[in-house]
Amino acid sequence: MKKFLAILLTALLAIGSLTACAGKGGETQEGKQKIGLVVSTLNNPFFVTLKEGAEKKAQELGYELIVLDSQDDPSKEIANVEDLVTQGVSLILINPTDSDAVVNAVMAANDAQIPVVTLDRGANGGEVVSHIASDNVAGGKMAGEFIIGKLPDGGKLVELEGIAGTSAARDRGKGFNEAIAGKASYEVVAKQVANFDRTKGLEVMENILQAQPEIDAVFAHNDEMALGALEAIETSGRSIIVVGFDATDDAVKSVEAGKMAATVAQQPDMIGSLGVETAQNILNEESVEEFIPVELKLVTK
């Protein structure tokens, strides 16, 4: 009888332990709240660094961070958000694939009453508590002003654009064109989308080089496209100023080697880190800014 009672007591204690571990929504069995991070693509070193910054801060603050890769596919993006809703996360950080396409994903989180914070790229709809990003307009202008400084007598320019519809592509292009606006000696002879992708940047630049006999400088909306363009330029044997955006490791090495002329440095690790900090403030019902800017600087040799 004593043996039976001991077994029964052990079983009851185990059930009580499991019930306690189940906790409330958004918590793991260890009692940690869960935060979701949906990244546009982990095939880009910039977003890998953003993820790592978020992971480090989540570990520091005691959150479980669930990271899902959208692979630059809006349909995958919304599926990722729905997955996180099912997993019972307390808040979702989204780095959008596209500022328009992400609206459905944001609204899916809104319907589940899960707060949303966007990182690097904004959302053109749905309810977003806060947006954390560099001032991309200022960064584009910084790149344009650098090129003007390198070409004081004017020149023929090329602009390689990021994914159409993203706030980053729109704002960087806006800043760049503001820098050269009203300056007749500077002419943009080609402007083409290369989707923030190195291979696409190479292919697009090869075509532009064939079509344009005179090019003095290229501004690419990110470093991956800039590095692809640089490869095409080097193969052609022509000498052209190339400026990128993000200050990825490969781009900084290229600048230091005297190949790329400059890159606008974002701080993706800080964007990720601030995302988790902001999530904590929201979950603690503290007020947060609608837009949290992250400082930029120009990297040159």
Q: Per residue in 60-92, pLDDT tens?
A: 999 999 999 999 999 999 999 999 999 999 999
246-264 pLDDT, tens digit each: 999 999 999 999 999 999 9
Give yes or no: residues 31 and 128 share one domain: yes
Are the beta carbons of 252 and 263 closer than 8 angstroms?
yes
User: Same structural domain for residues 140 and 259?
Assistant: yes
| CA dist., res. 86 & res. 96, Å (int) | 20
Confidence class of residue 214 from pLDDT cuts 50, 70 and 90?
very high
Among positive and negative, which fits the CA dihedral 174, 178, 182, 187?
negative
Is 34 inside a domain boundary? yes
pLDDT classification of 27: cutoffs 50, 70, 90: low
User: Which domain covers residue 41, as residue numbers?
Assistant: 27-132+269-293
Q: Could you tell me if residue 74 is inside a domain? A: yes
Residue-averaged pLDDT of the chain: 92
- Beta-strand runs (E) in 211-267: 217-220, 241-246, 262-265
The answer to whether position 157 is within a domain reads yes
pTM over 0.85: no
List the structure tokens of 167.
Answer: 């706030």
Whether 24 shows a pLDDT value over 50: the answer reads no
Helix (H) or strand (E) holding 37: strand 34-39
Q: Are residues 161 and 244 in the same domain?
A: yes
At position 240, the amino acid (one-letter code) is: I
Please check whether residues 65 and 213 belong to one and the same domain.
no
Contact 65, 58 (CB under 8 A): yes
Please indicate, yes or no, whether residues 198 and 217 belong to a single structural domain of this protein.
yes
Structure tokens at 128: 């977003």
Q: Which residues contact 133 (CB under 8 A, 6 or more apart)?
A: 118, 119, 120, 121, 122, 167, 168, 271, 291, 292, 293, 294
Q: How many domains does the chain have?
A: 2
